[in-house]
Structure 1
Amino acid sequence: MQFAPLRQRNFALLWWAGLISIAGDWTLRIALPIYVLQLTGSALATSGAVIAALIPTLLFGLVAGVYVDRWDRRTVLLVVSVLHGVTLLPLLAVDSAGGLWIVYAVLFIQSTLSQLFQPAENALLPNLVTAEHLPAANSLNTLNNNIARLAGPALGGLLTASLGLTGVVVVDAVSFLLSAALVAGIRGRFAVVRDADTPPLGVRRELAEGLRTAYSSPMLRALLGIVTAICVGEGIMGALFPVFVTGPLHGGARELGWTMSAQAIGGITGGLLSGRIAARIAPKQLLTWSLVVFGLIDLAIFNYPRWTGVMWPGLALFVIVGVPSVLSGVAWMTLLQGAVGDAYRGRIFSLMMVLQSLAALLGAGLAGTLAARLGVMNLLTVQGAVPVLCGIGFALISSRLGDRPYPAVVSPERQPVAEAS
């Protein structure tokens, strides 16, 4: 059951396409900040690269979802993958600090394309597998991401040391073109078809329609509220994690690398186990308990240094926490896919991406403002409590909604068509 979706041709093609492109992208994500720092010697220039990649989410994220719901999702993935590969090539001309504007421009374009790619991929996936296999498919997608997260940075570091930025750019561009070739092999048409008698609503009205859909559904409100709260905590952790490793854990760059590898190994372990577990536990109950366990392990991670500065318990906990982390993500995604009809999925997933970015920014801002006042470990303890509170809150909401299947919101004038074979 766990690997059954990979026996379905269309899903297997999408899975391998994602693995190749994400691994290639991780190589660049590791190499590019190092290269910018080497060219400029400026941390400010490096942070500028982060900002250039973030702005498109805030500018175009919501509108991109409208077009994902208008166009064939497979075609979106195919075209965007090719454009991803081609628009990386200007980085080959960067050989001095004077070319920094090219780096920023490429990152801006790449991030803009991602606003279409990620919602299209998430909206397409439920049409490639049966409802019975959807939790397993989400689990395999998480496994995919964590394998790429483990392999990509190692490859990025190796290529940067041996071939410089040129080698990394070529590998990443080729990964996107290979991904496009795999997506091209997906059979079927995956578009939301508009009734011939219904005129187009226009981008603004379709965007408003998507936002109303999210607000009108108690289940969608709860799920989007959870991901927003979790991402505020992730923003806090992202800003303070290096401080935590080098401070309370008395580590350095090597130990920071160990903890990142431990997180990736935990994610892979969770991905291997989560499909089997998700098949046995209802998504609502799975989301509740996995969030609570995830938060409790986080609390242990960020508080055990109060009694000892030994590194190995933290590394072990980082591996263990990967299991409930993946389980909560699989349950959350399965519930979201079931709570909204295909006609709205692009807009809902785009809204999710925007909320994640804003929440992470808020979390990073809170970390910078409050860390000195409250202390790093105390603030990370608050972050660890967030999943626990989300799990308890979702349990209360679920009990109020009851155990009845929550109906997906379906557009009255547009119906999904997925002629996959």
Structure 2
Amino acid sequence: MLSFQKKSFHLLWLSFLVSTLGDWMYRLALPIIVLSKTGSAYHAATAFGISFIPWVLFSLIGGVLADSYSKRKILVVGNIFASIFSCFLLFTLSIKNINFTFLYLVVFLLASVDPLIHPSFQSIIPEIIKRDDYVKANALIQTIDNTLTILGPLAGGSVIMLIGGINALWFDTFSFILSACILYALPKTEKGHTKKMTLNTIKKDILDGVKYSFQQKVIFSGSLMFFMTNFALNMFEANYIFYMTKALGYPLIDATIALSIGGVGALIAGPVSSLIVERFRSGVLLSISTVLAGLSTLLLLINTNYIYIGVILGLVSFFGTINVITYFTLRQRTVPSDQLGRVVSVTRMVSYASIPVGSWFGGLLLNQGVSMAWVILIAGVLRASAGVGAAVSPLAHEK
């Protein structure tokens, strides 16, 4: 049994469960709506990529907020704003002829909430559990995420086929409202924050967080590894719906079945991580799992059967999930609590900076007539190379 404060942690993971369900509706519905109205992989991938730009722009501010104010309040207010921006997105996509400038703006605004509240979510965990339970808690949260990776595509795809993409997005809007209500019920167990924020204090706090993150070579090396990994991953992931439904000609249900099969690997990785993270050096696990994720990606070149694709995606997600749990645990154990929010924001900003570029680059290649086989080949080689790089970085010496 985990020895955390049960009520607080249960509410936290319940809000995570609700918001992740809504996210799956959004992830599937947005590219489907854009593809159905334009038939363009470029616009679908660009909309996907733009949603990660705020991680570069606002992550540091999110870290300062997490280290300066009540994390509970930040999480509640953030979800309320997300529900408002989600309504704007619904209106934008309901128009017959999409105004892409306005669409990209609304996607940007909705995506801006996550980097502002994610540091609070990550850094609130050590406040409500004991240090010895970090691995178990992170594995449990990832297990929830990975379970929905299996069920989300099937449920989301079914809902979208039954009621349409626009109506499905209302589930995402509702998930933000419900998540805010759940988080509001969190007991006020956090230490009060009375720090007054000004432009000067924000600047100082950001610089302190950046300086600390850069000085922690192990933690920063990990974020650079994820920078390369995310670039490679999103060359393929951002164009997955296009690949399955347009390039391979599968119906949406087959594409979502493949995604769900892929989620099984991530689900298995949760309990496996609980067993191996404590027994092996973090740097070794991070390096090996990244190399194996890259090599597994290359297996997509062998066969285009949707069941086979799902199995390979399962391998990729298995190694990727071990990656994430190992790194999150390493970061929580290494970084002091009063710096954790900012370090989370810096490392997430660095690792996410490559996502919009990778998404855009993959979509651009496909739009120029380059085959998906080349996109997969480039992505697999880059990801495996990131693991090799990690093996010769300061991560390699981390116990």
Q: In the TM superposition, what is the alpha-carbon distance from 1:235 to its structure 2 partner? A: 3.4
- Equivalence map 1:342-421=2 (5 Å): 342-364=337-359, 375-376=374-375, 378-393=377-392, 397-399=395-397
Cα pair 2:269 2:322 within 8 Å, conserved? yes
Q: Deviations over 1:263-282 (max 9, x none)?
A: 2111112123322333x425
What is the aligned partner in structure 2 of residue 234 from structure 1?
233
Cα pair 1:23 1:151 within 8 Å, conserved? no
Cα pair 1:61 1:350 within 8 Å, conserved? yes
What is the aligned partner in structure 2 of residue 213 from structure 1?
212
Q: In the TM superposition, what is the alpha-carbon distance from 1:346 to its structure 2 partner? A: 2.1
What is the aligned partner in structure 2 of residue 133 from structure 1?
133
Q: Secondary structure at the match of 1:202?
A: helix
Cα pair 1:273 1:323 within 8 Å, conserved? no
- Equivalence map 1:37-56=2 (5 Å): 37-40=35-38, 43=41, 45-47=43-45, 49-50=47-48, 52-56=50-54
Indicate how the Cα distance of structure 1 residues 291 and 162 shifts in structure 2: closer, same or farther if over 3 A, else same.
same
Task: Please give the alpha-carbon distance, in whole angstroms, between the structure 1 residues aligned to 2:116 and 2:296.
Answer: 38
Task: Please give the alpha-carbon distance, in whole angstroms, between the structure 1 residues aligned to 2:83 and 2:359.
Answer: 31
- Equivalence map 1:238-387=2 (5 Å): 238=237, 251-253=248-250, 256-278=255-277, 280-282=278-280, 285-289=281-285, 291-296=287-292, 298-303=294-299, 305=301, 315-364=310-359, 375-376=374-375, 378-387=377-386
Q: Secondary structure at the match of 1:28?
A: helix
TM-score w.r.t. structure 2 length? 0.82
Cα pair 1:69 1:191 within 8 Å, conserved? no
Cα pair 1:119 1:346 within 8 Å, conserved? yes
Task: Please give the alpha-carbon distance, in whole angstroms, between the structure 2 residues aligned to 1:158 and 1:246.
Answer: 15
Greater shift after overlay, 374-383 or 75-84? 374-383
- Counterpart of 1:58, as a letter, is V
Q: In the TM superposition, what is the alpha-carbon distance from 1:339 to its structure 2 partner? A: 1.9
Q: Deviations over 1:164-208 (max 9, x none)?
A: 345323322222222112212221343574689x99952212111
Q: Deviations over 1:240-281 (max 9, x none)?
A: 76898799xx95435654442232111112123322333x42
Q: Deviations over 1:190-239 (max 9, x none)?
A: 3574689x999522121111111111122222222222232233234436
Indicate how the Cα distance of structure 1 residues 219 and 192 shifts in structure 2: closer, same or farther if over 3 A, else same.
farther
Cα pair 1:120 1:346 within 8 Å, conserved? yes
Task: Please give the alpha-carbon distance, in whole angstroms, between the structure 2 residues aligned to 1:93 and 1:126.
Answer: 39
Indicate how the Cα distance of structure 1 residues 240 and 28 shifts in structure 2: closer, same or farther if over 3 A, else same.
closer
Q: In the TM superposition, what is the alpha-carbon distance from 1:49 to its structure 2 partner? A: 2.9
What is the aligned partner in structure 2 of residue 188 from structure 1?
188
- Equivalence map 1:24-63=2 (5 Å): 24-40=22-38, 43=41, 45-47=43-45, 49-50=47-48, 52-63=50-61
- Counterpart of 1:358, as a letter, is A
Cα pair 1:291 1:388 within 8 Å, conserved? yes
Q: In the TM superposition, what is the alpha-carbon distance from 1:349 to its structure 2 partner? A: 1.8
Task: Please give the alpha-carbon distance, in whole angstroms, between the structure 1 residues aligned to 2:102 and 2:82.
Answer: 15
What is the aligned partner in structure 2 of residue 122 from structure 1?
122
Indicate how the Cα distance of structure 1 residues 99 and 135 shifts in structure 2: closer, same or farther if over 3 A, else same.
same
What is the aligned partner in structure 1 of residue 159 from structure 2?
159
1:225 aligns with 2:224: yes
What is the aligned partner in structure 2 of residue 170 from structure 1?
170
Q: Secondary structure at the match of 2:78?
A: helix
Greater shift after overlay, 72-81 or 44-53? 44-53
What is the aligned partner in structure 2 of residue 85 from structure 1?
83
**Which ranges of structure 2 fall in alignment gaps of 5 or more residues?**
none
Task: Please give the alpha-carbon distance, in whole angstroms, between the structure 2 residues aligned to 1:152 and 1:180.
Answer: 21
Q: Deviations over 1:96-125 (max 9, x none)?
A: 235646644432221111121211111111
TM-score w.r.t. structure 1 length? 0.78
Task: Please give the alpha-carbon distance, in whole angstroms, between the structure 2 residues aligned to 1:153 and 1:309.
Answer: 19
Residue identity (%): 21
- Counterpart of 1:110, as a letter, is L
Greater shift after overlay, 157-166 or 61-70? 157-166
- Counterpart of 1:222, as a letter, is S
Indicate how the Cα distance of structure 1 residues 223 and 37 shifts in structure 2: closer, same or farther if over 3 A, else same.
closer
Q: Would you say how many aligned residue pairs link Structure 1 and Structure 2?
A: 390
Task: Please give the alpha-carbon distance, in whole angstroms, between the structure 2 residues aligned to 1:298 and 1:353.
Answer: 21
Indicate how the Cα distance of structure 1 residues 52 and 97 shifts in structure 2: closer, same or farther if over 3 A, else same.
farther
Q: CA RMSD in A?
A: 3.6
Cα pair 1:23 1:149 within 8 Å, conserved? no
Larger CA Rg, structure 1 vs 2: 1
Task: Please give the alpha-carbon distance, in whole angstroms, between the structure 1 residues aligned to 2:25 and 2:304.
Answer: 32
Q: In the TM superposition, what is the alpha-carbon distance from 1:91 to its structure 2 partner? A: 4.2
Task: Please give the alpha-carbon distance, in whole angstroms, between the structure 2 residues aligned to 1:267 and 1:232.
Answer: 20
Indicate how the Cα distance of structure 1 residues 114 and 191 shifts in structure 2: closer, same or farther if over 3 A, else same.
farther
Cα pair 2:80 2:176 within 8 Å, conserved? yes
Indicate how the Cα distance of structure 1 residues 102 and 6 shifts in structure 2: closer, same or farther if over 3 A, else same.
farther
Cα pair 2:55 2:353 within 8 Å, conserved? no
Task: Please give the alpha-carbon distance, in whole angstroms, between the structure 1 residues aligned to 2:268 and 2:28.
Answer: 23
Cα pair 1:23 1:152 within 8 Å, conserved? yes
Task: Please give the alpha-carbon distance, in whole angstroms, between the structure 1 residues aligned to 2:241 and 2:102.
Answer: 29
Cα pair 1:73 1:191 within 8 Å, conserved? no
Greater shift after overlay, 65-74 or 96-105? 96-105
Q: Secondary structure at the match of 1:97?
A: coil
Task: Please give the alpha-carbon distance, in whole angstroms, between the structure 2 residues aligned to 1:364 and 1:158.
Answer: 26
What is the aligned partner in structure 1 of residue 12 from structure 2?
14
Greater shift after overlay, 4-13 or 141-150? 4-13
Greater shift after overlay, 149-158 or 216-225? 149-158
Indicate how the Cα distance of structure 1 residues 299 and 33 shifts in structure 2: closer, same or farther if over 3 A, else same.
closer
Cα pair 1:143 1:271 within 8 Å, conserved? yes
Cα pair 1:244 1:377 within 8 Å, conserved? no
- Counterpart of 1:151, as a letter, is L
Q: In the TM superposition, what is the alpha-carbon distance from 1:305 to its structure 2 partner? A: 4.8
